[in-house]
Amino acid sequence: MVEEELRQIQAQIRACQRCALAGFPIQGPPIFSGNASARLMLIGQAPGRVEVGETHRPFSGSAGKRLFRWLQQAGWDEETFRACFYMTSITKCFPGPNKSGRGDRAPTRREQRMCEPWLIAELTLVDPEVVIPVGRMAIERFFGPGRRLHEIIGGRYRVDGRILIPLPHPSGASSWIQKPGHRALIRRAIVHLAEVRQALGLTTCTRHG
């Protein structure tokens, strides 16, 4: 029943034209993966050119390689993680390149607001026990705007009844992840992920209860 509702929402997301109709230079298709039985949801910022133009899988470009290295250190191989868990983002279409030529354009607050109902529907229907917000935009979605990443990353939180373990954006365009002190925070986040994986039995795709 919930699975069918989620399939309907996913079909509506795939047909969504909100940002294009509002004049934003986004490029589809929307990218996400997973089903209603997932006990963990990973939420990024927005897909990139590789995800939208080639693979149609979240985090399958160069940033994804670093992300899956972190997840591997927490105990998950990439295919198990993709098969078991839900992967989505704050905005689900490629926002296009940054004008500076470095990285992708960050979706505007208006685009984030337009896509928010889809994320709320995903969270409601999947109802994950654990959420991994990846990058500033996803972290601010849960912790509020203007928070400093080094004060949040490395921690383990409970928000709306879910465990939250934030990670920084793994993009090579991010200078945050290169700073030595920040690497220690990432290692702490990975330890939290490893502990939660073991404690909740998130080594397989099985849904409890």
Tell me which residues touch ligand SF4 (CB under 6 A). Answer: 13, 16-20, 26, 30, 91-93, 111, 114-115, 118
Q: Tokens for 56?
A: 């149609």
167: β partners: 134
Helix (H) or strand (E) holding 130: strand 130-133
Question: Least separation, in Å, of the C-beta of 23 and ligand SF4?
Answer: 11
- Tell me the one-letter amino acid at 204: T
Q: 54: exposed, middle or buried (C-beta count within 10 Å: 0-12, 13-18, 19+)?
A: exposed
Question: Least separation, in Å, of the C-beta of 25 and ligand SF4?
Answer: 11
Query: Do residues 84 and 205 lie in contact, with contact meaning Cβ atoms separated by under 8 Å?
Result: yes
Measure the CA–CA gap between 147 and 189, rounded to whole angstroms: 17
Question: Least separation, in Å, of the C-beta of 90 and ligand SF4?
Answer: 9
Instruction: Give the residue with the Cβ less far from ligand SF4, 43 or 84.
Output: 43
Question: Least separation, in Å, of the C-beta of 4 and ligand SF4?
Answer: 20
